[in-house]
Amino acid sequence: MPPSTTSESDRLSTRTKWAILFGGGLILLIVLALAAEFAIRYRQARIHGTAATIEKFYTVDERIGLRVPIANLTLGHVSTNSLGFRGPEIAVPKPEGTTRVAFLGASTTWCAEVTGNDKVWAHLVAEGLREAFPRAKIDYVNGAAPGYVVRSSIKNLEHRVAPLQPDVIVIYHATNDMSAELRQLAQLHGFTSDGASASPSWFARHSLLWDLAEKNLRIWAAKRRAQASVGHLSVDVATLGSGFRNDLETLVRAAQQHSGVVALATFSTRLRAGQSTDQQLSASASALYYMPFMTPSGLIASYARYNEVIRDVAASTGAILIDGEHTIPGDAEHFSDSVHFTDAGSRAMADRVLRALTEDHSVRKVFQQ
C-alpha cells in the first residue's frame, strides 16, 4: 500500500481554508444584511420622517384600559398634542363661541401614511369648514388611533373625547371590525389556528428588513392562493356585520348624547369590482396579509356589506350619511395600500366629507349660530 501523500499539516491547511471561506461568507452576508437594514430604515425615514415602528406612538391608559397615543410626541410626520390626539393644541375647557368637531376612527383617520398633520383628512375637513363658515371659530379633535374597532371608539368617546364638548362628531369605521369578524369565521372553519391576525416574529419586531420579508412572503402566498381559487373561506355576506351594526349603533347613540350632529361615513378601499384581476390582487395586498383566507371578490362583497350596514345605521339613528366611498379613485395615487390614504386620497376623503357636511341643514345651523 503506497504511503499517504497528504500530510497532517496539509489537511489542517485545507480545513483552515474552508473555515476562512465560511467565516468570510458569513461576515459578508451579515454586512449585506446590515446594509439592507440601513437602506430600508433610511428609505422609511425619508418617506415617513422616522424609521420607528407604529408601536412607538402608543401607551396603554390603565385607568380606562385603552391603548392611546402618547402625548406631546413627534415622530417623523406625526405629532400629537398635550392631550394625546394627533393634531394641534385645543383649549380645555372649550372656549365660549368655539365650534368643535371630533373625528372617531382607526388608522384610516389617524393617517400615518400622509406627509404631515396638515395632510390628514380630519385636519383638511376643519380647514374646509373654516372656509365655508368664515364667521365661525372652529377647532377639531382627531380621536382616532390605529387598531381601534368600534368598541374602542365607544370607550374613547366616553373617557377622552366627550369631555372636550364636541359639537359635531364624524365616525369612520369598518375595516378592523370586518377583519376581526372574518378571522373569527376563518377560525371556526379551520382556516387559522386562532382568531388573531398574523403576528410578526421576534426578528420582524426588531428588524425592518425581516419584517418586510415576512410581510411580502405572506402577501405572495395569499395572492397565490387567490389566483388558484382554492383554500378560501366561503362567506354568506348577508350574515356579516350584525355585531358591527350593534356596536356602531351604540357608538352613534352615545355620540348623539354629547353632540348635536353626528355623521357616519361609508368606507373607501382601493379594491373595486371593475378592476382587472391583477389590479384587484395588487389593491387587496395588505388586506390579504391580515385575511389570507379571503379572495379579492370576497373582500369586495364584504366591504360592500359593511357599507350597507353603515347606511342602515345612519338611517335608523338619524345620523348624517357621508356616502360616495367610490368617489375616491381606487388607485396607487390615492391609496398607499388596500385602505390607507396617500396625500391625494386624504384630500379626496376630506372633499367628500366636507361636501356632505356643508350641504346638511343641521350642520349649517351649528356653524352659523
> What sign has the CA pseudo-torsion 289, 295, 299, 300?
positive
Q: Going from the first residue of the chain to its last (369 residues), give the mean pLDDT of each consecutive group of 10, the final group possibly shorter.
A: 55 68 68 56 49 71 94 92 97 96 98 96 98 97 97 98 98 97 91 51 53 57 56 87 98 96 98 95 91 92 98 98 98 97 98 97 92
- Which amino acid type is present at position 275? Q
**Residue 194, pLDDT score:** 40
Strand residue runs (E) in 80-135: 98-105
Q: Round to whole Å and give the CA distance between 111 and 103.
A: 12
- Closest Cα to residue 201, out of 212, 190, 192, 191? 212
Residue 168 cell numbers, joined: 359635531
- Closest Cα to residue 151, out of 231, 53, 250? 250
- Reported pTM: 0.81
Match 474552508 to its residue by C-alpha cell: 18
| Residue 219, C-beta contacts closer than 8 angstroms, at least 6 positions apart | 285, 286, 288, 289
Q: Is 153 helix (H, G, I), strand (E, B) or coil?
A: helix
> What sign has the CA pseudo-torsion 338, 60, 207, 220?
negative
**Residue 98, pLDDT score:** 97
Which fold would CATH assign to domain 54-182+232-367?
Rossmann fold (3.40.50)
Q: Is the peptide bond before 93 cis (omega within 30 degrees of 0)?
A: yes
| Residue 157, C-beta contacts closer than 8 angstroms, at least 6 positions apart | 104, 143, 169, 251, 254, 255, 258
Q: N- to C-terminal Cα distance for the chain? A: 111
**Secondary structure element (H or E) that encloses residue 43, with its range:** helix 8-48
Residue 165 has a CB neighbour count (10 Å cut-off) of 15
Q: Domain residues of the chain, as ranges?
A: 8-48, 54-182+232-367
**Residue 238, pLDDT score:** 94
**Residue 321, pLDDT score:** 98
Question: How many Cα atoms occupy the beta-carbon half-sphere of 355 within 13 Å?
Answer: 12
**Residue 50, pLDDT score:** 47
